[in-house]
Protein backbone atom coordinates (compact mmCIF):
# COMPACT_ATOMS: atom_id res chain seq x y z
CA UNK A 1 0.00 0.00 0.00
CA UNK A 2 1.21 3.50 -0.72
CA UNK A 3 -0.13 6.80 0.55
CA UNK A 4 0.19 10.18 -1.13
CA UNK A 5 -0.30 13.60 0.41
CA UNK A 6 -1.23 17.10 -0.59
CA UNK A 7 -2.03 20.19 1.45
CA UNK A 8 -4.41 23.02 0.56
CA UNK A 9 -5.11 26.35 2.23
CA UNK A 10 -7.87 28.87 1.47
CA UNK A 11 -8.05 32.37 2.94
CA UNK A 12 -11.15 34.57 2.80
CA UNK A 13 -14.58 34.04 1.32
CA UNK A 14 -15.10 32.06 -1.87
CA UNK A 15 -15.42 34.82 -4.49
CA UNK A 16 -12.69 37.09 -3.14
CA UNK A 17 -10.41 34.70 -1.32
CA UNK A 18 -7.27 33.00 -2.49
CA UNK A 19 -5.68 29.67 -1.96
CA UNK A 20 -2.70 27.50 -2.58
CA UNK A 21 -1.81 23.84 -2.66
CA UNK A 22 1.36 21.86 -2.00
CA UNK A 23 2.14 18.38 -3.26
CA UNK A 24 4.14 17.04 -0.36
CA UNK A 25 6.41 14.54 -2.16
CA UNK A 26 7.55 16.73 -5.05
CA UNK A 27 7.17 20.10 -3.35
CA UNK A 28 5.16 21.37 -6.32
CA UNK A 29 3.12 24.40 -5.29
CA UNK A 30 0.29 26.22 -7.01
CA UNK A 31 -2.26 28.95 -6.50
CA UNK A 32 -6.04 28.60 -6.45
CA UNK A 33 -8.70 31.24 -7.07
CA UNK A 34 -12.43 31.56 -7.60
CA UNK A 35 -11.93 33.06 -11.06
CA UNK A 36 -9.59 30.29 -12.21
CA UNK A 37 -12.17 27.72 -11.16
CA UNK A 38 -15.46 29.25 -12.22
CA UNK A 39 -14.58 31.92 -14.78
CA UNK A 40 -11.76 30.37 -16.84
CA UNK A 41 -9.22 32.91 -15.59
CA UNK A 42 -5.76 31.43 -16.21
CA UNK A 43 -4.02 33.19 -13.28
CA UNK A 44 -4.12 30.13 -11.04
CA UNK A 45 -5.15 26.48 -11.01
CA UNK A 46 -8.30 24.71 -9.83
CA UNK A 47 -9.21 21.44 -8.16
CA UNK A 48 -10.57 20.28 -11.52
CA UNK A 49 -7.24 20.96 -13.23
CA UNK A 50 -5.51 18.90 -10.56
CA UNK A 51 -8.01 16.08 -11.18
CA UNK A 52 -7.24 16.36 -14.91
CA UNK A 53 -3.50 16.07 -14.22
CA UNK A 54 -4.03 13.06 -11.98
CA UNK A 55 -6.32 11.34 -14.46
CA UNK A 56 -4.12 11.96 -17.52
CA UNK A 57 -1.09 10.67 -15.62
CA UNK A 58 -2.79 7.60 -14.21
CA UNK A 59 -4.40 6.67 -17.53
CA UNK A 60 -1.11 7.07 -19.45
CA UNK A 61 0.67 4.81 -16.98
CA UNK A 62 -2.13 2.21 -17.12
CA UNK A 63 -2.17 2.26 -20.92
CA UNK A 64 1.60 1.83 -21.07
CA UNK A 65 1.37 -1.11 -18.66
CA UNK A 66 -1.53 -2.70 -20.55
CA UNK A 67 0.36 -2.48 -23.83
CA UNK A 68 3.48 -4.00 -22.25
CA UNK A 69 1.42 -6.84 -20.76
CA UNK A 70 0.20 -7.63 -24.29
CA UNK A 71 3.77 -7.67 -25.65
CA UNK A 72 3.87 -4.15 -27.13
CA UNK A 73 6.50 -1.76 -25.78
CA UNK A 74 5.25 1.81 -26.20
CA UNK A 75 7.71 4.46 -27.35
CA UNK A 76 5.41 7.22 -26.14
CA UNK A 77 1.94 7.76 -24.67
CA UNK A 78 0.58 11.30 -24.37
CA UNK A 79 -2.77 12.12 -22.79
CA UNK A 80 -4.76 15.30 -22.32
CA UNK A 81 -7.64 15.29 -19.85
CA UNK A 82 -10.46 17.80 -19.93
CA UNK A 83 -12.61 18.05 -16.81
CA UNK A 84 -15.93 19.84 -17.30
CA UNK A 85 -17.40 21.72 -14.33
CA UNK A 86 -21.06 22.76 -14.71
CA UNK A 87 -23.70 24.49 -12.61
CA UNK A 88 -26.23 21.95 -11.39
CA UNK A 89 -29.08 23.54 -9.49
CA UNK A 90 -27.66 25.59 -6.64
CA UNK A 91 -24.20 24.02 -6.78
CA UNK A 92 -21.59 22.77 -9.21
CA UNK A 93 -20.56 19.31 -10.34
CA UNK A 94 -18.07 17.64 -12.63
CA UNK A 95 -20.24 16.45 -15.49
CA UNK A 96 -17.67 14.63 -17.60
CA UNK A 97 -14.02 13.97 -18.25
CA UNK A 98 -12.61 13.49 -21.74
CA UNK A 99 -9.30 11.71 -22.15
CA UNK A 100 -7.54 12.32 -25.46
CA UNK A 101 -4.56 10.06 -25.90
CA UNK A 102 -2.04 9.28 -28.62
CA UNK A 103 0.43 6.46 -28.63
CA UNK A 104 3.48 5.57 -30.61
CA UNK A 105 3.63 1.82 -30.20
CA UNK A 106 5.56 -0.35 -32.66
CA UNK A 107 3.77 -3.48 -33.84
CA UNK A 108 0.30 -2.87 -32.40
CA UNK A 109 -2.75 -2.64 -34.64
CA UNK A 110 -5.22 0.24 -34.17
CA UNK A 111 -8.02 -2.06 -32.98
CA UNK A 112 -5.81 -3.65 -30.31
CA UNK A 113 -4.55 -0.23 -29.20
CA UNK A 114 -8.17 0.93 -28.82
CA UNK A 115 -9.08 -2.21 -26.85
CA UNK A 116 -6.18 -1.76 -24.42
CA UNK A 117 -6.90 1.98 -24.13
CA UNK A 118 -10.55 1.27 -23.24
CA UNK A 119 -9.42 -1.18 -20.57
CA UNK A 120 -7.03 1.43 -19.13
CA UNK A 121 -9.85 3.99 -19.07
CA UNK A 122 -12.07 1.64 -17.10
CA UNK A 123 -9.43 0.28 -14.74
CA UNK A 124 -6.83 2.89 -13.89
CA UNK A 125 -7.18 3.77 -10.19
CA UNK A 126 -8.20 7.37 -10.87
CA UNK A 127 -10.94 6.29 -13.31
CA UNK A 128 -12.21 3.88 -10.68
CA UNK A 129 -12.27 6.67 -8.10
CA UNK A 130 -14.24 8.87 -10.51
CA UNK A 131 -16.89 6.31 -11.53
CA UNK A 132 -19.70 8.80 -10.75
CA UNK A 133 -18.50 10.93 -13.68
CA UNK A 134 -18.98 10.14 -17.38
CA UNK A 135 -15.52 9.42 -18.81
CA UNK A 136 -15.02 9.62 -22.57
CA UNK A 137 -11.98 8.41 -24.48
CA UNK A 138 -10.47 9.44 -27.80
CA UNK A 139 -7.49 7.18 -28.55
CA UNK A 140 -5.28 7.51 -31.60
CA UNK A 141 -2.35 5.38 -32.63
CA UNK A 142 0.46 7.33 -34.25
Residues 65-81: tens digit of each pLDDT? 999 999 999 999 999 99
pLDDT digits (tens, 9 = 90+) for 37-62: 988 788 899 999 999 999 999 999 99
User: Is residue 70 a contact partner of residue 118, using CB atoms and an 8 Å limit?
Assistant: no
Which of 129, 131, 55, 57 lies closest to 98, judged by CA? 55
> Domain 47-141 adopts which CATH fold?
GMP Synthetase; Chain A, domain 3 (3.30.300)
What is the C-alpha separation between 139 and 59, in angstroms, rounded?
Answer: 11
**Edge-to-edge strands, sheet with 134-141:** 76-88, 91-104, 134-141
Amino acid sequence: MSKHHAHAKWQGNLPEGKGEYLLKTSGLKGKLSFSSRFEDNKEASSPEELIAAAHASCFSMALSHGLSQEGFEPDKIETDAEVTLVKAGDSFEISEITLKTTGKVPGVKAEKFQEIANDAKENCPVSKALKAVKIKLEAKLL
